[in-house]
Structure 1
Amino acid sequence: MDDWHSWAAIAVFTGAYALIITEKIHRVAAALAGAALMLAIGATDDKAAFYSERTGIDWNVIFLLVGMMMIVGVLRKTGMFEYVAIWSVKRARGRPFRVMAMLVAITSAMSALLDNVTTVLLIAPVTLLVCERLALRPAPFLIAEVIASNIGGTATLVGDPPNIIIASRAGLTFNDFIVHLAPLAIVLTLVLIALCRVLFRRSFVHDEERASEVMAMDEREAIRDPRLLVQGLTVLGLVVAGFVLHPVLHFEPSIVALLGAGLLVAISSVHTGEVLADVEWPTLAFFAGLFVMIGGLIGTGVVGEASRALADAVADQELGGSMLMLGGSAVLSGVVDNIPYVATMAPITGDLVESMGGGSDHVMWWALTLGADLGGNATAIGASANVVVLGIAERNRTPISFWQFTKYGLVVTAVTVALSALYLWLRYFALA
């Protein structure tokens, strides 16, 4: 931290973050300008930014998004999302809170099998259509769903990208995550639904006329291209299977998504240009800029210094250390994207676990996982799924501001992290 590059990198990141928060300029412009300045001051370079797995753009995330956005773009042309929207509204009897509760539960469950980014890409179009049918503001529903995706993603190895990094470093299996974190994820999802009833209570305005119109509709009539729907769902099923079988096949989710997108374009009659037009290119550019900026902080030692300070504070105190790991990770993951944070913190956590004489299922790993995954809900850029949903909302002319997301995200994060602390204490200390 004595190098001037470190302080310059902090200044650049802080300035860009301030612009993103205040929305003085568009967040994509702020992120790309910050990335350019990181390169200009030498905090990072082309090799570190474009080729380094540790400090560069996470191409696995970028290409996972590209592949899934292409698949979603094809499915959108079939009428499938309209079908699901009408079906869900009818099952909820047109009641807004019931609709939100249903979508939150579905999103959380899907995020445990898929990654949370893929889940929000699939559920957001349905949500927008539901809100259009019932004349509701989509922002509260989208915010609730992306928070649910981050909560549900804690349950499994493939649910959130940081989990894969932690599993690889700690030697954890798919079943380890199910046993240790799935029960908590279920409880937190139920808590989220209860919180939604309070946080978004002004959004649950029931329009009897609109609801009656939807109740009278036949969802089967929404399907415009049955053949394309069969092709799309078949490919999506193969992609989901590829995600779930990651521990066996060892194909990265990005490879599975790109293979699926390529196969769907090849076998369907949809023009490639139409599919590529559905990709959220501004969102991908924002991710690229954000990764380069965080890479500058990692490369100059800023993130490592913060991680080591956290590790030094933990020392060999298991209970206090796990609580500090949980809380510290939640705070830091709300400020920087949780993927590079976990990539930096995982080896430090491994050394801590070894010094404490713990195995791969040590409580410290679960504290890191919960802090990183749940802390991502704190701000609009804390997790990849958050950024994706903000991009989708903006493209559909229903923008969600940084503070609009964050004021709800902070409340949910505080509650879920507090409950996670209670869970860790009960399971691994009080009742151990």
Structure 2
Amino acid sequence: MSTGIAVVVFVVAYLFIATEKIPKTAAALGGAALVLAAGVVGSEDAFYSHETGIDWDVIFLLLGMMIIVGILRRTGVFEYTAIWAVKRAKGSPLRVMILLVLITAIASAFLDNVTTVLLVAPVTLLVCERLGINPVPFLIAEVLASNIGGAATLIGDPPNIIIASRAGLTFNDFLVHMAPIVAIELLVFTLVLPWVFRGSFTVDPERAASVMDLNEREAIQDSRLLIKCGGVLLAVFAAFVGHSVLHVEPSVVALLGAGVLVLISGAKPKQYLASVEWETLLFFAGLFVMVGALVKTGVIGQLAELAADATGGDALTAVMLILVVSALLSGIIDNIPYVATMSPIVFELANDIQDPVHADALWWSLALGADFGGNLTAVGASANVVVLGIAMRAGSPISFWEFTRKGAVITLITIALAAPYLWLRYFVLT
């Protein structure tokens, strides 16, 4: 009974989110309320369980970084960066997109991808406003790039942290095994941008010329506050990168950074809280509760086990099946809870494989499938949801299907490239 309720509620809520018949936050919170009211999950499951509850690390990481970004916005640095980017791209929208995509992807490898899009999205909105072009294609391209670039390192995407913990993998392991394919994926992604986003690069020459005449240095409104923000951000980023040494969660780092910056900036609550995407945070909370109900009732575990049983003990079949299934399921239910559920199964599969190289390939298959699969739909990864929230508040809403049409194409391309990479590296060249 509980299983049926969890599945029906999730499917119906997902349909409402996809069709946008009602606001996505209302759909997520409504679904969460139903599974709580039906007793499928209780308060212990929803609010305190690491396996089935709200991922407070994600919520508070977002909250902390939103506050930091809100204070940083007062300095004028986003306007400065926007003008700088347009001038470096000589006013060409396509060059602007490529530049912002590369910045986003590289930054996502060393920060988490959610933090990166929180910093890049405001710049993008300003660039597009200056050029008089639609920001939606640029925002979608950046979030797709963030999910690709974040796959390169242990800290770039939350699923990688879960995998590293379960498999005993290090930061260097991810660099050696994931960074090469990510570099290839990013190159191909950049090459297909003109095709995927065709029709998005028309600009009024006069608008472009007017931006070229601007002096970006005049955009800085408060240099003293910028220095304070820069110091806090450097400390926060250093703590993110040093996570494996410091053992301090990114959420704690973000909240500490936000607290320090609020204190030294003298910002009033109205100023820094105005930048917090409350609807996005509530949407995440509702989604986590609904997915937690699927985890508790064993639905996700059963799906993962069915995929594992279908391999028939063959390592290559297992690798390819995990890659494809991970891409599909991560795009539907968010890749964080999926990887948390799937990793114990992959651990058991890896233990049953004699060749250690083939066993490791299972983990890299899971990481690639989950990270790249996050691009499949608008709710496949945390960064996607954050960007949709920012776009909505900026008056340039991105529909579920508008994102998914682009994301599905990129997911297909990235998984199609990942499959031969796994086969060649771990089964042919070993």
Q: Give TM-score scaled by structure 1 length.
A: 0.98
Equivalent residue number for residue 404 of structure 2 = 406
Q: Which residue of 2 aligns with 1:335?
A: 332
The one-letter code sitting in structure 2 at the alignment partner of 1:62 is I
**Which amino acid is 1:391 matched to?**
G
| Alpha-carbon distance between aligned partners in 2 of 1:344 and 1:118, rounded to the nearest angstrom | 24
In 1, Cα distance between the equivalents of 2:276 and 2:182? 31
Aligned counterpart in structure 2 of residue 391 of structure 1, from 376, 389, 398: 389
Partner secondary structure for residue 362 of structure 1: helix
Matches within 5 A, 1:91-170: 91-170=88-167
> What is the alpha-carbon distance in structure 2 between the residues aligned to residue 227 and residue 80 of structure 1?
12
Give the residue type in structure 1 aligned to 2:394: N
What CA deviation, in whole Å up to 9, does each residue of 1:311-340 have, x standing for no partner? Answer: 111242111110000000000001101000
2:50 paired residue among 48, 53, 67 = 53
Tell me the amino acid that sits aligned with residue 419 of structure 2.
Answer: A
Instruction: Choose from 366, 373, 391 the match for 1:375.
Output: 373
1:216 paired residue number: 213
State how far apart, in whole Å, the 2-side matches of 1:179 and 1:116 are.
Answer: 20
Q: Does 1:81 align with 2:78?
A: yes
Q: How does 1:58-73 map to 2 (within 5 A)?
A: 58-73=55-70
Secondary structure at the aligned position of 2:144 is classed as helix
- Aligned residue for 1:203, secondary structure, equals coil
Of 343, 348, 358, which aligns to 1:346? Answer: 343
Aligned-partner Cα distance in 2 for 1:430–1:356: 17
Q: Distance in 2 between matches of 1:425 and 1:86?
A: 44
Count of residues in correspondence between the two structures: 429
Q: Which amino acid aligns with 1:386?
A: N
- Match for residue 237 of structure 2? 240
Cα deviation 1:95-130 (Å, max 9, x = unaligned): 010000000000000000000000000000000000
Match for 2:250 among 250, 253, 274? 253
- Tell me, yes or no, if structure 1 residue 18 matches structure 2 residue 30: no
- Pick the aligned partner of 2:24 from 11, 19, 27: 27
Partners of 2:109 and 2:205 in 1: CA distance: 35
Aligned match of 2:202: 205
1:108-165 deviation per Cα after TM superposition (whole angstroms, max 9, x unaligned): 0000000000000000000000000111100000000000000000000000001000
What SS does the corresponding residue of 1:157 show, helix, strand or coil? coil
Q: CA deviation at 1:359?
A: 4.3
Superposition deviation, residue 188 in structure 1: 0.8
Find the counterpart in structure 2 of residue 276 from structure 1.
273
- 8 Å contact 1:43–1:297 — kept in the other structure? no
Report the Cα distance in structure 2 between the residues aligned to 1:291 and 1:358, rounded to whole angstroms: 37
Superposed displacement of residue 7, structure 1? 1.2
Amino acid at match of 1:399: P
Deviation at 1:194, TM superposition (A): 1.5
Higher mean displacement: 45-54 or 350-359:
350-359
Matching residue within 176, 179, 184 for 1:187: 184
Deviation at 1:272, TM superposition (A): 2.8
Structure-1 residue corresponding to 2:424: 426
Q: 1:287 to 1:214 in 2, by over 3 A?
A: same
Partner Cα separation in structure 1 for residue 196 and residue 307 of structure 2: 33
In 2, Cα distance between equivalents of 1:314 and 1:102: 42
Deviations 1:243-272 (A, max 9, x none): 000010000100110111001111112113
Counterpart contact for 1:195–1:412, Cα < 8 Å: no
1:314/1:325 contact within 8 Å kept: no
Q: CA deviation at 1:196?
A: 1.2
Q: Offset of 1:358 from its aligned partner?
A: 5.0
- AA aligned to 1:363 is A
Give 2:308's match in structure 1, choosing from 291, 311, 318.
Answer: 311
Shift of 1:295: 0.3
Letter of the 2:191 partner, please give it.
A
The structural deviation recorded for 1:78 is: 0.3
Q: CA contact under 8 A between 1:114 and 1:244: conserved in structure 2? A: yes
Q: Structure 1 residue runs of 4+, over 6 Å off?
A: none
**TM-score under structure 2 normalisation?**
0.99
* One-letter amino acid matched to 2:109: A
Letter in 2 for 1:174: F
- For residue 206 of structure 1, report the CA deviation from its aligned partner: 2.9
Q: Which moves more between the two structures, 366-375 or 187-196?
A: 187-196
Range with greater deviation from structure 2 (360-369 or 139-148) = 360-369
Q: Which letter does structure 1 place at the counterpart of 2:345?
A: I
8 Å CA contact 1:78–1:225 kept in 2: the answer is yes
**How far apart, CA to CA, are the structure 2 residues paired with 1:109 and 1:374?**
15
Structure 2: 5+ residue stretches without partners: none
RMSD: 0.9
Question: 2:189 & 2:29 partners in 1: Cα distance?
Answer: 34
1:306 offset after TM fit, Å? 0.5
Give the partner amino acid of 1:145.
E
1:327-363 alpha-carbon deviations (Å, 9 max, x no partner): 0000000110100000000111111101113549700
